[in-house]
Amino acid sequence: MVIQTLEKLHRIDLLVNCAAVNLPYRAVTDVSLDDWNWIIGVNLTGIFLCCKGVVPHMKQQHFGKIINFSSIGGLSGAPGRAPYRATKAAIINFSECLAAEVKEFGIDVNTICPCVVETDMLRETKQTVAIPNVPMPPEEMAAVAVFLASNEGRGITGTTINVFGQGNPLFYLPKK
């Protein structure tokens, strides 16, 4: 991916890591090692490999922006969600570590934590988990990424931005 991008564009200014997989609700004792490794591979190792591939080039050009998507799930635990939420928490910490390592090279690294976004994964998750939040359209998440990637987002680095919209847990109302 990195080699093909450099051959075509001659530089890499932006990397957005926005891929994730999840399992249906499953207790830790019922998660197979294969499922655990699959989720870690896609959600965390994929980000690591992409960052590892582009950072040397961004260092050479003394500029770059890396945006990693995590989740509200990376901020707290929940039953039946251990593999997914563990990877999302790790993305936040990984991004902070990477930001500290590359800041001197003019590379900004940030994390976006969406709440509930209208995606295929959300539709699949709703089949097994009650989700009370009002989903956001994907365009709202994209707008935050575009801001971080723009000149207006310069200087923001090592930060996690929570983008919860109407699904913000602060807005949950008690049942009557």
pLDDT digit string, tens, across residues 120-133: 555 555 555 555 55
Q: Please provide the average confidence, as pLDDT, over all residues in the chain.
A: 88
Which candidate in 39, 72, 84, 148 is catalytic? 84
Let me know if residue 170 belongs to a domain: no
Structure-block tokens of residue 112 = 């976006």
Residue 168, pLDDT score: 67
What is the average pLDDT across 161-171?
74
Does any domain span residue 51?
yes
Is the residue at 171 inside a domain?
no
> Rounded to whole angstroms, how far apart are CA atoms 2 and 22?
26
**pLDDT of res. 136:** 72
Q: Is 25 a catalytic residue?
A: no
Residue 60 domain flag: yes
Can you give the CATH number for the domain in which 131 is found? 3.40.50.720
Closest of 134, 42, 143 to residue 84, by C-alpha: 42
The DSSP bridge partners found for residue 14 are 65
HSE-CB at 37 with a 13 A cutoff on CA atoms is: 3
| β-bridge partners, 113 | 162
Greatest mean pLDDT among 52-66, 131-145, 157-171: 52-66
Looking at the structure of the chain, the number of domains it has is: 1
173 within some domain = no
Residue 84, in any domain of the structure: yes
Is the pLDDT at 174 greater than 80? The verdict is: no
pLDDT confidence tier of residue 31, bands split at 50, 70 and 90: very high
pLDDT mean over 72-98: 94
The whole-number pLDDT of residue 173 equals: 55
pLDDT of residue 19: 87
What is residue 166's predicted lDDT score, i.e. its pLDDT?
67
CA separation for the pair 112, 67 (Å, rounded): 7
Q: Of the candidates 100, 83, 110, which has an alpha carbon nearest to the alpha carbon of residue 29? A: 83
Residues 161 and 164: their CA atoms lie apart, in Å, by 9
Residues 91, 72: Cα–Cα separation, whole Å: 12
Q: What domain range is 65 assigned to?
A: 2-165
Answer whether residue 175 is part of any domain: no
